[in-house]
Amino acid sequence: MKKLYIYSLAAAALMATACSKEDPFTGPESSEEGQILKSAIAVDMKVDETVRKNVRTRADVNLDDFTVIFTKEGQTTPVKKFKYSEMPDVVTLPVGDYICTATLGENRLAEWENPYFLGRSDSFTVNPYEITSYVAPIECRLENIKVTIEFDPALKSRMSADSYVEVKVGDNSGLNFTLTEAEAGKAGYFMHTAETTLVATFNGKIDGAKAVETKSLKDVAKGNHYKITFKLHDYSNDPTGDSDADIQVDASVTITDIERNVEIGDEPLLDDSERPSEEPEKPGPGPDEPKAEAPAITGVAPIDLDKLNTIDGSVPVGMKVVSTAEGGFTAFDVEIESPDLTPEELEGVGLAANLNLAETPEQFAAPLTNFGFPVNVKGKKEANIEISTMLLGMLSAVGAGHEHKFIITVTDANGTTEKTLRLYIPE
């Protein structure tokens, strides 16, 4: 039966009279009790929108999946612990100073799609025969490490179907990302421990030849998203290269602060000097030779590929892509990431989420041209993208108020360049 303490002033006075200095149940270790309302517990999630859409928060729905733990300040053993959905409307606690901890998920060494959030309240006091109706909102933050893997198109087209990337933090157990997990955007979550070195190892075959490439990143931090992209470096066009080492797998990482949804940086996981000694070093350009430049992808004003572009959809959106390599483009891919342009929506207008503009399948050629994309550009040295008002009109109709991404990845003999066009159409 629930106990709810409601006392008149007269009853409180009588209680004070009854308690003498010798009363063994007064003071901080008293057996007296107070209460706290369930409604006093509120949680603010400090996460970006990518995680937020998969996590139920107080602003979205309810807190039923959270675990709420009441612990006396300075102690570690919980006094009471509830799943929020099973927590009584009024919780009775021994008097004292408390910390309330809220958790969501489980803090495991490595698990798919398992973000673990943790937050602690400020100290609050449960007074005898009083009801606590307010505790400052608890700020929950991501406590583990988020990792996703991507394979660039050139690598995907030449690696074996059983290729995978093993990701581990320290000596703990890890997860294997296959092409299936990568293309689904599946995230692995890893416990943040004293050992903070993340290791990602590519295992597979490239054009039938075994390839193993290990990359490591030191001092990984909880609350960060590490997006690791594995790419293919092909030196077969280098006449001075070793024919047995024409193919090299490399990787880069983009680090995003989950809490602020801000990119921290984009840097290689390992310098070339850290490669295994048996892999021959590729000769660079001589002092008088121009440096080989990977394809250049630039936005046509006012489009800026380094920021989110706010548009109204009334004028086309342009980009220019130029290759200076002999033989021109070898791969040219566009990936559409949009919460509103779903595969079904795209299929309805003759498109797909992943578009091959180098050797365009016949069924996509006409729709792509209508929407302003070049087709069959393999071997060309220049291509212009002008996303038409027809496609932007679709975004205005179904996707106003959301961010939409067009990820352009272009490869030639000099290397690979990836740029993301980010568009936002106000509601």
Long-range pairs for 46-53 at CB < 8 Å and ≥24 separation?
Answer: 46/139, 46/140, 46/141, 46/142, 46/259, 47/115, 47/117, 47/141, 47/142, 47/258, 47/259, 48/225, 48/256, 48/258, 48/259, 48/260, 48/261, 49/261, 50/225, 50/261, 51/115, 51/142, 51/146, 51/258
pLDDT of residue 264: 42
Phi and psi at residue 177, to the nearest 5°: -95, 110
For 348-361, how does the pLDDT look when each residue is reduced to its tens digit (9 = 90+)?
888 888 899 999 88
Distance CA 404, CA 391 (A): 12
Pair 147, 188: CB distance under 8 Å: yes
Q: What is the pTM of this model?
A: 0.52
Distance CA 234, CA 107 (A): 41
Closest CA to 151 of 335, 8, 377: 335
pLDDT of residue 286: 52
Paired tokens of 272: 């070339």
Return per-residue pLDDT of the chain as tens, 427 residues.
Answer: 333 333 333 333 333 333 433 333 334 445 799 999 999 998 887 765 445 444 443 334 357 889 999 999 999 999 999 999 999 999 999 999 999 999 999 999 999 999 999 999 999 999 999 999 999 899 889 999 999 999 999 899 999 999 999 999 988 889 999 999 999 999 999 999 887 899 999 999 998 889 888 888 988 998 899 999 998 876 555 444 443 445 577 777 777 766 654 444 444 443 334 444 444 444 555 555 556 789 999 998 889 898 899 988 888 899 999 999 999 999 999 999 888 888 888 888 888 888 999 998 888 888 898 888 999 999 999 999 999 888 888 888 887 888 889 999 999 999 999 999 999 888 8
Pair 211, 204: CB distance under 8 Å: yes
Pair 406, 421: CB distance under 8 Å: yes
Contacting residues for 26 by C-beta, under 8 A, at least 6 apart: 19, 32
For 270-325, how does the pLDDT look when each residue is reduced to its tens digit (9 = 90+)?
333 444 444 444 455 555 555 678 999 999 888 989 889 998 888 889 999 999 99
Pair 244, 238: CB distance under 8 Å: no
Distance CA 184, CA 173 (A): 22
pLDDT of residue 175: 97
- The 3-state DSSP class for residue 278 equals coil
Contacting residues for 181 by C-beta, under 8 A, at least 6 apart: 112, 149
pLDDT of residue 101: 96
Closest CA to 165 of 211, 116, 196: 211
